[in-house]
Amino acid sequence: MAPDDLNEQDDIQVAPEPKAKSNMLIIILVLMNFLLILGLAAWFIFFQDKGDAGKSGQGASNVAEGEESIEDSVKSAAVGPIIQLDPFLVNLDEPGSNRYLKAVIQLEVTTPEEEAEVKNRAVQLRDLILTYLSSLTYSQTQGVVNKDIIRTTLIKQINKAMVSGKIAKLYFTEFVIQ
The reported pLDDT for the residue numbered 43 is 74
The reported pLDDT for the residue numbered 53 is 44
The reported pLDDT for the residue numbered 19 is 63
Residues 37-62 as b or e (16 or more Cβ within 10 Å = b): eeeeeeeeeeeeeeeeeeeeeeeeee
Range of the domain at 143: 68-177
Walking along the chain (178 residues) 10 residues at a time, the average pLDDT comes out as 54 59 84 85 70 44 48 64 91 87 92 89 92 91 92 92 89 92
Asked if residue 27 belongs to a domain, the reply is no
pTM above 0.85, yes or no: no
For residue 169, give the 3-state DSSP assignment. strand
- The total of structural domains in the chain comes to 1
CATH code: domain of residue 122: 3.30.479.30
The reported pLDDT for the residue numbered 15 is 56
